[in-house]
Amino acid sequence: MNNQWLPLIGMAVGMVLGLVGAFGGLVAFVLVLVLGAVGLLVGRLAETGEPNLSRLSGRRR
């Protein structure tokens, strides 16, 4: 994945979660957050075949 899109994707996800939290309440916020995490895991499994999320952290080795 091209890293130049990660801040934009993060901002969009944050805005969606903020809107859901403001208009849908806590239950909707948690539901969107959990389904987003599940979607991330499924996408990683489809892309690489393993749920390795270590590359998402900002630390470089």
Q: What is the per-residue pLDDT across 4-59, written as a single tens digit (0 to 9) for each?
A: 777 777 788 888 888 888 899 888 888 888 888 888 788 778 777 777 767 666 66
Round to whole Å and give the CA distance between 3 and 8.
10
pLDDT score at 61: 53
Considering only CA atoms, give the Rg of the chain: 13
